[in-house]
Amino acid sequence: MRREPPVTDPFVRMYHVSKSYMAGTFALHDVSLEVDRGEFVFLTGPSGAGKTTLLKLLFAAERPSEGQIILRGRNITRLREYGIPALRRRIGVVFQDFKLLGHRSVEENVGMALEVRGTPPREIRSRVFRVLKQVGLQHRRYHRAEALSGGEQQRVALARALVNDPELLLADEPTGNLDPELTLEIMDLIASAGARGTTVVVATHDLSLIDRYAKRTLHLEAGCVKRDAGAAAISA
Amino acid sequence: MRREPPVTDPFVRMYHVSKSYMAGTFALHDVSLEVDRGEFVFLTGPSGAGKTTLLKLLFAAERPSEGQIILRGRNITRLREYGIPALRRRIGVVFQDFKLLGHRSVEENVGMALEVRGTPPREIRSRVFRVLKQVGLQHRRYHRAEALSGGEQQRVALARALVNDPELLLADEPTGNLDPELTLEIMDLIASAGARGTTVVVATHDLSLIDRYAKRTLHLEAGCVKRDAGAAAISA
Amino acid sequence: MRLLVVHLFYAARSAIRGLWASPVTTGVALVTIAVSLVLVGAFGLLVTNMQGLLDRVGEDLRVTAYLEEGISDEDLKRLALLTQTVEGVASVETISKDDALRIFDERLGGRSGLLEGLEYNPLPASLEITLVESQRSVGGLRVVVESLDGLPGIEELSYGEEWVEGYARALSMIRGLGVGVACVLALATLLIVGNTIKLAVYARRDEIEILGLVGASRSFVRIPFLLEGFTQGTLAALMALGLLYILYRILTPSLAAGIELLMGHASPAFFSPFQMFLLVASGAFVGALGSAAAFVEGGRR
Amino acid sequence: MRLLVVHLFYAARSAIRGLWASPVTTGVALVTIAVSLVLVGAFGLLVTNMQGLLDRVGEDLRVTAYLEEGISDEDLKRLALLTQTVEGVASVETISKDDALRIFDERLGGRSGLLEGLEYNPLPASLEITLVESQRSVGGLRVVVESLDGLPGIEELSYGEEWVEGYARALSMIRGLGVGVACVLALATLLIVGNTIKLAVYARRDEIEILGLVGASRSFVRIPFLLEGFTQGTLAALMALGLLYILYRILTPSLAAGIELLMGHASPAFFSPFQMFLLVASGAFVGALGSAAAFVEGGRR
Ligand SMILES: Nc1ncnc2c1ncn2[C@@H]1O[C@H](COP(=O)(O)OP(=O)(O)OP(=O)(O)O)[C@@H](O)[C@H]1O
Ligand SMILES: Nc1ncnc2c1ncn2[C@@H]1O[C@H](COP(=O)(O)OP(=O)(O)OP(=O)(O)O)[C@@H](O)[C@H]1O
Ligand SMILES: [Mg+2]
Ligand SMILES: [Mg+2]
């Protein structure tokens, strides 16, 4: 086992990271940034700016074309195939398109994130119930995910991301299908996870959220960081 | 052939429509409403209120449990299986989850809505190009849909709904993945389709849009119409 | 008219695109169908060639007419000619008393003590009569025997009734078995191919759903899949045919040697052009049918 | 240890859930695998029973030792006993000169003119020697013949060398063909089953992708599919076995009658318990292998 790095180190470091899906175009271009442990970061930018791509790099769904990414002191660009699952089990992700299993029940969809870690069934049931209650869906837990409304599915996706108390929470447009009231409830939930020590990165288009929560905001445009507001000041 | 009803009739009429997916619960409960030809209607309401269900009933993806729906003077609750395609070809739908074919090119995804009507290939190409230009994606037309960002996919879905100049446009949360600037551009596009005579129903959570466009707004809550603001007054 | 052409164009293009777009599904289905057809084809070849062998064995089916003692050469000739005209008779061979004794001696393995011990030739002259193919059955044989029975100069007719019956039974059994196995095999192929295509269609249920949502008619959705099934079936059948031919060329030399030793001359045959056509056509048919069946239960969901 | 149990529990539950959750895929795959196994099993039964028939024909393989003229009854008995002790000899039957003549007469069809024409019996006495099973080949026969050749009282040995060679060749050919067809069939089954499961896995690629995204290890994703394939293979093999037994019970009576007429007593046998186990085991194996193979190319996408 490797020695755990001291917690004072930045939690995430990206060094000159670029990602190019097709030769000649960059989804991300020369991005360098640091995110401390427990920090809460908003990621904004127009459609196609590279927000999802940046998140994908962090949970190793894509590999950078150039540059290095250090997560918890470990270079994940060097990670072998078999090292990826262990990484992902420490991360919770709310996917922009939810990625739920439509034919499975809500409980199964959320429980999945615990099953892969070998959590005993009894514990899974109680933790799943708790997190579903937080997102207001405990009464729907036996329904198939595809029978839920868009906003309900989005909350199930968030529940799945939160259920295993991740060290890093990546949420890609987690309130795009929610009404304003629910948006605040859900963002409070995410913020409270941040307050408990989880490092949080939320990609969003909702400027009212950014105003309201007044957290560090990374503004991407065409793959480059155009603004990094309130970084050191607000975090911690 | 049946005689076309006079255009002065309401375009959509719902009489005491209820929809129940599971015994004992209603996704829609006793909804009655009229929408005139060329009218622009916002549909709002909290998550799970029944917005998507209402739209689904209008393009016959679901059948009401009770009540009747008259569209263009025709009772679509009585429609046989083989009558549905013809109905859908007159309607453009932006699905909340886009429903694009990930492995197909953007051009193919949009062109699909014309192919099913037997439009000649040459005409399809030019019309697809025009509508993709309107949503700002003409340069991506040969890429696979799954290679696009969330906002880009949403615009492709809108392009597909608009490409066949539908009589009725149903848009389910069409700007949930778009940044504020793009949201306005896209809404303008939808509004201009309305101005050209298309009847438009937009389900949205974005209250700023409702303020800005000041159109008739139907507010749903738990399957019932709670408010129907500015109906006769605003619609032309 | 114009619309029909456009629709057909889309159907064809969509079919080709479908085949290209999901290479896994296409490849897997192709291989499965081809393998099934190779099985059917190999069995067909086996049966066809067995049939040929059996027919050759059937040529041994013959009637021996033992003639009266002391028949004159002239009468013998006349009788032979007469026999030849009997319906169902293919050929007549005359065996004189001397021939009979020589053949008998040979049968005993040439131990010549026997012939020396004889003071006169006890064996009768005879006619060896073979039958035309259509008559080679117990029933057919009996008809010929009855026709021959009255002829003057014939003392006794011998035709190994038991052997004939056994042979006929064996033949009908093998044919029955062949037909049975062929039916089972055909059914199995139909099921396997149908299921394979059903799975392939199922793997693309998103596409079917979305086409329905944008207003595609039932036929607009299904015809491309039918075309795909048809194309896959045809291609698979051609692959199967090629494979069978290779197998045939590899196996024939060694097999032919073995069979020749057993049953005289033999040259295993490949399919006739018509049979090849049949195989390809059945591949195409099964493919199209499989696609059609894939929709039966599924329906619109 | 605890973790392993939990993991196995999830794998088993996930496998069962997978089978239930996609009844189309499961059903289609089950039927396809069962049909393939019925083909293999039916062929196996055919070969097993043919083998039995062939063995019975092989009992006709015998050596005739023609004895010297005028051998005494006592010498004859001694020779018979001696012969019995020769390695490879199964049974010895003594045929006296009178027996020989009677058999000869019978062969001629009882036309008794022949026997009357003889002034003395020219036929020798003989011993009919059958061989133990392991010796029933051209080579084995030769060894026995050589052992017998020197014995006093034996004048000549006859053993239809050509017939033996033909029979041996036919046997090895049919065995070769059987093995060949079995190999082709086994390969085809493997391919068909593998492909079917591959398509079934492909139809659930979403699930595989999402499991990977929430941090499932490779084995966590694959073991349930392996278990599913294993279960499907086992169930399908049991179905196939049942179907084969029904077929066997339906077909046996009519088949047995036909075979009996041809070759004397015959009673087609079903699989032995061990062979049944083999069929089920191979179903399970092929199912698991198919699932494993489904991941080989696909990999993580
Ligand atoms: N798999 C891919 N293959 C090719 N290009 C891709 C792929 N994924 C993303 N892209 C492109 O990379 C760019 C950045 O995409 P990304 O999904 O990161 O945008 P985003 O900031 O998340 O946008 P949105 O707000 O619309 O979700 C886009 O132009 C997109 O089309
Ligand atoms: N196929 C289905 N089976 C069972 N229940 C369903 C089904 N579809 C929707 N529902 C339920 O009906 C209710 C209304 O759903 P609907 O999708 O219409 O909500 P919505 O207003 O679109 O919500 P959102 O803003 O979250 O998209 C919800 O409680 C939902 O769970
Ligand atoms: Mg995105
Ligand atoms: Mg909705």
Determine the pLDDT at residue B184.
94
Question: Considering only CA atoms, which residue is closest to atom 27 of ligand 2?
Answer: A150
Determine the pLDDT at residue C64.
83
Q: Which helix (H) or strand (E) holds D251?
A: helix D218-263
Residues in B whose CB is inside 8 Å of some CB of A read: 21, 44-48, 51-52, 96-98, 147-152, 155, 172-173, 176-183, 205, 207
Residue A118: its chain D contacts at CB < 8 A?
3, 6-7, 10
Specify the number of domains making up chain C.
2
Ramachandran sector of residue D283 (left: φ over 0; alpha: ψ -120 to 50; beta: rest): alpha
Determine the pLDDT at residue A231.
46
Model confidence at C164, pLDDT cuts 50, 70, 90, reads: low
For ligand 1, say whether the CB of A204 is within 6 Å of any of its atoms: no
**Together in a domain, D223 and D174:** yes
Work out the mean pLDDT of chain D and round it to a whole number: 78
Comparing CA positions, the residue from D274, B127, D197 lying closest to residue C203 is: D197
* pLDDT higher than 90, residue B128: yes
Model confidence at C211, pLDDT cuts 50, 70, 90, reads: very high
Work out the mean pLDDT of chain B and round it to a whole number: 91
Determine the pLDDT at residue D265.
53
For ligand 2, say whether the CB of B204 is within 6 Å of any of its atoms: no
Domain extent, residue C197, equals 2-57+165-300
CATH code, domain carrying D141: 3.30.70.3040
**Together in a domain, D85 and D224:** no
Model confidence at B1, pLDDT cuts 50, 70, 90, reads: very low
How far is ligand 1, taken at its centre, from the CA of residue A62, in Å? 12
Model confidence at D55, pLDDT cuts 50, 70, 90, reads: low
8 Å CB contact of A118 and D6: yes
**Together in a domain, C42 and C67:** no
**Together in a domain, D254 and D273:** yes
Atom of ligand 2 nearest to the CA of A154: 26
Secondary structure (3-state) at D283? helix
Rounded to two decimals, the pTM is: 0.80
**Together in a domain, D180 and D50:** yes
Which pairs with CB-CB distance under 8 Å and at least 24 residues apart come from D68-73?
D68/D124, D68/D153, D68/D154, D68/D155, D69/D124, D69/D155, D71/D125, D71/D153
**Together in a domain, C112 and C6:** no
How far is ligand 4, taken at its centre, from the CA of residue B172, in Å? 7
**Together in a domain, C267 and C209:** yes
Q: How far apart are CA A16 and CA A70, in angstroms?
A: 12
For ligand 1, say whether the CB of B152 is within 6 Å of any of its atoms: yes
How far is ligand 2, taken at its centre, from the CA of residue B172, in Å? 12
**Number of CB atoms found within 10 A of residue D77's CB:** 11
Exposure string over A161-189, b if 16+ CB within 10 A, otherwise e? bbbbebbbbbbbbbbbbbbeebbbebbeb
Using the 3D structure, point to which of D102, D135, D158 is the last residue of a domain: D158
For ligand 2, say whether the CB of B27 is within 6 Å of any of its atoms: yes
| Interface check D22 vs A, CB under 8 A | yes
For ligand 1, say whether the CB of A45 is within 6 Å of any of its atoms: yes
Among all ligands shown, which has an atom nearest to the Cα of B177? 1
Chain centre to alpha carbon of residue A27 = 19
**Together in a domain, D170 and D50:** yes
Work out the mean pLDDT of chain A and round it to a whole number: 91
8 Å CB contact of D195 and C298: no
8 Å CB contact of B176 and A179: no
Q: Which residue of B has its CA nearest to C213?
A: B88
CB of C234 within 8 A of CB of C287? yes
Count chain A–chain D contacts defined by CB atoms under 8 A.
59
Q: Which chains touch A (3 or more CB pairs under 8 A)?
A: B, D
Comparing CA positions, the residue from B64, B83, B65, B85 lying closest to residue B74 is: B83
For ligand 2, say whether the CB of B154 is within 6 Å of any of its atoms: no
Q: How far apart are CA D270 and CA D267, in angstroms?
A: 10
Among the ranges B23-37, C133-147, C159-173, which has the highest mean pLDDT value?
B23-37
Determine the pLDDT at residue C37.
86
**Together in a domain, D215 and D84:** no
How far is ligand 3, taken at its centre, from the CA of residue B139, in Å? 18
The count of residues in chain C is 301
* pLDDT higher than 80, residue D136: no
Question: Considering only CA atoms, which residue is closest to atom 31 of ligand 1?
Answer: B148
Cβ neighbors of C237 (< 8 A, separation 6 or more) are C33, C34, C37, C279, C280, C281, C282, C283, C284
Q: How far apart are CA D82 and CA D102, in angstroms?
A: 26
**Together in a domain, D32 and D123:** no
Q: Which helix (H) or strand (E) holds B34?
A: strand B28-36
Q: How far apart are CA A201 and CA A43, in angstroms?
A: 7
**Together in a domain, D135 and D270:** no
Determine the pLDDT at residue B130.
96
C86-120, pLDDT tens digit by residue?
888 888 888 888 887 777 777 665 555 555 656 66
Q: Which stretches of chain A score pLDDT less than 70?
A: 1-8, 230-236
8 Å CB contact of B99 and C217: no
The count of residues in chain D is 301
Q: Where are the domains of chain B?
A: 100-165
For ligand 2, say whether the CB of B10 is within 6 Å of any of its atoms: no
**Together in a domain, C44 and C184:** yes
Chains A and B contact (Cβ–Cβ under 8 Å for 3 or more pairs): yes
How far is ligand 4, taken at its centre, from the CA of residue B21, in Å? 14
| Interface check B122 vs C, CB under 8 A | no
